[in-house]
Chains A and B, each alone.
Chain A
Amino acid sequence: MARPPLTDDELIARYGPHLNEAPPGGWNAGIEVDRVVKTHCCFCGQQCGIKLKVHDNAVVGFEPWYEFPFNEGKLCPKGVKRYLQGSHPDRLLHPMERDPAAPGGFRQTSWDHALERVVAEIRRIQAEHGDDAFAMLSGVSLTNEKSYLVGKFARLALHTANLDYNGRFCMVSAGTGNKKALGIDRAPNPWSDIPLADVVWVAGANVAETFPITTSYIWRARDRGAKLIVQDPRVVPLARTADLFLPVRPGTDSALFGAVLHVLIERGWLDHEFIDAHTVGFDEAAAAVADMTPAWAADITGVPAARIEEAAEWWGTAATGMMLHARGIEQHTKGVDNVLAAINLGLATGKFGKPGCGVSTITGQGNGQGGREHGHKCDQLPGNRDISNPDHRAAVAAVWGCDEADIPGKGMPAEEIIEAIHDGRIKGLLSICFNPLVSAPDANFTREALDKLEFYTVIDFFLSESAQHADVVLPGSLHEEDEGTSTSGEGRIIKINAAVTPPGEARRDWEILVDIARRLGKGDLFSYANTEQIFDELCRASHGGTADYTGATWQRIEDEMGLFWPIPEPGHPGTPRLHEGGRFAHPDGKARFHPVPFKPSAEVVDDDYPLLLTTGRVVSQYLSGTQTRRIAALVAQYPRPLCEMHPRLADTIGVVDGDLVTVTSRRGSMTLPAHVVTTIRPDTVFIPYHWPGAQAANQLTNRAVDPLAKMPEFKVTAVRVERAGGRGATTDTRDLGLHEASS
């Protein structure tokens, strides 16, 4: 049973998170720099260019990379301090095995012993319970090369169908919706289109905190006179300056979009020429919104009808417009519906395939775009191919040099894998770059599942909360310790360069996977001398798929500061803007409208759970916090979760700012300080999810998933909130030096 060997406190004392305060040698060391490495930030799908300063095989600082066109030197606080994840006291330096008797609960071991044990356990479990009883979970902080390799490794070396990735909790609704409506899963526009839009509509995206650099693109549009619409249950920082704010109740975005389509149709703000020439299914979509009047939607969404009509007018009458959406509309049991409803608005007004026009998801994770293209997902093969399609299977088998029949079929998505572990159908797990204990919904259930594993091995650079459950821990590589490519949220393939080599006995992730494959007897399928060879194979495997990298080379990517796929042949310039000339990626070249009737969320409020909880991120933390909770300056910005609530709600439960409250859902409860602010709907509370254990917002969230995308409903949980007694801290006391002016 894969239980942590010691208590949380004991594990934290040994493996952290400890806080890295200063670069190697301290702040006063003076900066001596051997070389400066151009690479990218590892935190979030914007993939900002950054230069890392290196001294004595350690990253000692950063310098803005002004020439990289996407961010021109700009960075968010995570990017500025990213370099402090290196030279970290918590860094895993040796392979380890669980041993409750050993100090720290893990015993150092050799690579040979660790990997032989991993291979023996894989063989034992697969022999006893079938190949699919050993699963793999991966993540999209990995490069394209590693993501591709993981897909191939799971199918051919592990020979399991059950591989999935943490993008399942992030971008997958958008990907599914894009494929259904547009035939391709990529943001339709380069970000340089945003400044060309006359209306920018940000739906369910806290841009200022989760994609800070996008703020500058939006301002460039506004400097040209564009109007900004923000749709969010909270007055997020960007909303403060919006021209129109749509304070939507969590879980009702499709009602809002439906009502806007209703108004567009009613007022004739449609691009009939575009609809007729380039789309199918408009009538069905129109029929579905026939009754969705602004007054009806106002009731459901909480957005005043006049604001809905104004949004429709701005969107419908503007010559150009961009809608940017993110997890706010996507992490729902109707996440795909929401995305389809958003795309309907773009198709109805002809806002695709032209400068300054598009409906685009903002990809969240570092390589969220590239990582979801090359066979990382349970139903997918490289080039964003379908693992159930015989032609697609044959094409990939030819590149892999295997029999098509050797490629397993469609496996379970991430949340189902966790459920299958919980009910005993899956016995063994290899995970890399995934911390489900913090990031998956219903954390108590996830913990029970991990505890039940017969064998669990983790490749990671820090001992994440999930890794604490592992039988064998394999020290992998940090972002700056390996090279490769990633693909940013705008579909730009970029080059990640290694700044340092892995410390101690740690190895590059791909070398570990290749070593396991070799020990499983599949070495001939994984004979790579370096990372670039993996990329070249990836490009060949993607040839003919929708995510076509055929013409990409590392050299070109560096020389041209990134390449936008598809790049269907060598020398092709790449494709910054998709759907130009109204050509969509479905075989008939047309986009699909989809009728989107309004459905309630999996949980709605009732007398026992009368409030809505929505979860999300803060600017100083990234995902499950494995990296960012170890950097002192970032932790200081937002040290612990707070429960944001409106003063009206605070009054009814009798608390003031800083009072502890207990938030309870059908699955769990947690106690944390109330942060009383007028910037959130009075019927909604917000808790950021970056922390583990008793501080985990995901103790409360719901495992219900979208029927198509299998995305859990992180954004809507029915809860009740009660006064807990006691006080916590909410006030930021860091910049009060002035009050000590005379002390």
Chain B
Amino acid sequence: MHIVVPIKQTPDTTAALTVDASGRISWGDAPLIVNPWDEFAIEESLRLKEKFGGKVTVITLGPESAKEALKQAVAMGCDEAILLHDPAFEGSDAVVTAAILAAAIRKLGAVDLVFMGKESVDGNSAQVPPALARRLGWPLLAYVGKIREVDPAGRTIVVERILEEGRQVVRAPLPAVLSAMQMNEPRYPSFMGIRKAARMQIQVWNAADLGLSPEQVGAAASAARWPAVFAPPRQEVQCEFIQGESPEEIARLLVDRLLAEKVL
């Protein structure tokens, strides 16, 4: 099986974020990481490779520095890594990002599965997986909590999708686009993996390599506009500690407060 895992490099989720007057977002000295949702997709793809053979190719759209995220994925066990980088890509929204990823996946030739995190921890939109499925014309299996079976010969996959009311068990033909929920415990990079990643020359594909013209990508092609980013209004919370002689008294005082707050 050939599995492609599109990932995103994001600021660490514990980073404190600031926005300057020009709207530029900064995370200080906090490290950049592989989007945690994508790690579940990497792990699951590596398990499929271990079971069925084949290879896992990791791709990302981003600046030169995003090679670090690709190396992390290679150190975990991915076989190949490609950076999609072009100044013209800047400002691409989810639909345009999906179009760029789709062009890269087509260029890779025979692909059985595209597996990515359900969303990124920076954009939080969960829009790239469905848009990518449409750009490729493949079935979408979003919010996958479990892979039940894969039949590479019969070219089908059965997954459990996590929806609000429970789990929807769906069978789809391959190739398909999957997005991952928290479905496993991602492995740490191995010593051998880290050495391999350090030596790896990562391919870089630009718009021309993908057969895309500058007006098909970037902010110019994108319909979403983000005129302002700002820190949310601060809710100053002063914690009132409830004390009492007994649990019963504390419970009584607490219920009084919650009734006054009208939240019971």
Indicate, yes or no, whether A interacts with B: no
The residues of A with any CB-CB pair to B shorter than 8 Å are: none
The residues of B with any CB-CB pair to A shorter than 8 Å are: none
